[in-house]
Amino acid sequence: EPEVTQTPSHQVTQMGQEVILRCVPISNHLYFYWYRQILGQKVEFLVSFYNNEISEKSEIFDDQFSVERPDGSNFTLKIRSTKLEDSAMYFCASSGRRGYSGELFFGEGSRLTVL
Amino acid sequence: AQSVTQPDIHITVSEGASLELRCNYSYGATPYLFWYVQSPGQGLQLLLKYFSGDTLVQGIKGFEAEFKRSQSSFNLRKPSVHWSDAAEYFCAVGVPTGTASKLTFGTGTRLQVTL
């Protein structure tokens, strides 16, 4: 069964460092998302991406964050200068269809720890 | 803005017993409603969803959920729990006017199953 894969599964970084989280969505999907979950809190929407541009983003997704699809398979989330409060589990998701008619398929998550 | 409340952080049931996980949402109209499950080390998997129509929704793994507009609830049920159902369960709501799958999640309920 096709699945969304994320790397790394866990990354530890120093505050102020740049981090790139990578995702390989399901191959024929067109819509891509990043969500995050701070420990003990809710899973929160960060950003959606379609046709090589951001479709929607949340207030959390400020100038420190960026996403891109550098090739035909990867979808990355970059945090330019990490802060302590960026420590969280980051989930990538993809969907084959627009909006809520399409099921979101989530990856296993990348845990980011900022020291 | 929409919100989701899952009042139970942790529930323990015996294998074979029935299960009900509570979910209450806040939104001015009828939202799109979802239940996701996350097993240890896995991504979020969609159990079932409600968009419209029959208020009793059947999902995978023998789960069902009932949408009750008067109570703003979308509780998840299973008549007989299996040990493999031990996981974290997330209720989520989506706003029909959205184009992205910008879900708002609850904080989750961790289910423990005793043998």
Residue that is written with structure tokens 């209450």 in the block: B24
- Residue A44 and residue A37 in contact, taking contact as beta carbons nearer than 8 Å: yes
CB A32 within 8 A of CB A94: yes
Please state the φ and ψ torsions of residue A4, each to the nearest 5 degrees. -90, 130
Q: Do B101 and A93 touch (CB under 8 A)?
A: yes
User: Along the 115 residues of chain A, how does pLDDT read in single tens digits?
Assistant: 779 999 999 999 999 999 999 999 998 898 999 999 998 888 999 999 998 999 989 999 999 999 999 887 899 999 999 999 999 999 999 988 777 666 788 999 999 999 9
B101 CB neighbours in chain A (<8 A) are 31, 33, 48, 93, 95, 99-100, 102, 104
Residue A57's DSSP bridge partners are A47
Q: Are the Cβ atoms of B46 and A109 closer than 8 angstroms?
A: no
**Which chain A residue shows the shortest CA-CA distance from B31?**
A100
**Closest partner CB to B100 (pick from A55, A103, A107):** A55
CATH superfamily of B3-114: Immunoglobulins (2.60.40.10)
Give, in order, the Cα–Cα distances in Å from B30 to each of B35, B62, B104, B106. 16, 25, 14, 17
Q: How confident is the model at residue B49 (pLDDT cuts 50, 70, 90)?
A: very high
Find the residue in A nearest to B5 (Cα). A42
- Average pLDDT in the B73-91 region? 97
pLDDT greater than 70 at residue B99: no
Domain positions in chain A are 5-76+89-97
Domain A5-76+89-97 has CATH 2.60.40.10: yes
Query: Which stretch of A61-70, A97-106, B54-63, B74-83 has the lowest confidence by average pLDDT?
Result: A97-106
